[in-house]
Amino acid sequence: MKYKCPKCQTELEWDSKNPNKPFCSERCKNHDLVAWANEENKFAGSPEWDDVMSGEIEAEVGRQQDKLF
Ligand SMILES: [Zn+2]
């Protein structure tokens, strides 16, 4: 079975023993993880995310108070 590395589009033969699949190499695999981590950081630093988080915290505090009273 042939497929393409999602990172560099190199055509590869499927190898179930390849520890980097679906990527062609460790370099492609790690590069993708780095990009993903950067996306996560961007998301976490965005004002929308802060709003979501503070909303979640308020909801959790409300739940804790319901238990207390
Ligand atoms: Zn690749």
Residues of the chain below pLDDT 70: 43-49, 69
Spatial separation of the C-alpha atoms in residues 42 and 53, rounded to whole Å: 15
From the list 36, 35, 33, 28, the residue with the least C-alpha distance to 8 is: 28
CA–centroid distance, 1 to ligand 1, in Å, is 16
CA–centroid distance, 47 to ligand 1, in Å, is 34
CA–centroid distance, 4 to ligand 1, in Å, is 8
From the CA atom positions of the chain, what is the Rg in Å? 21
CA–centroid distance, 42 to ligand 1, in Å, is 25
Domains of the chain, with CATH numbers?
Answer: 2-68 (3.30.50)
CA–centroid distance, 11 to ligand 1, in Å, is 9
SS3 sequence of the chain: CEEECCCCCCEEECCCCCCCCCCCCHHHHHHHHHHHHHHHHHHHCCHHHHHHHHHHHHHHHHHHHHHHC
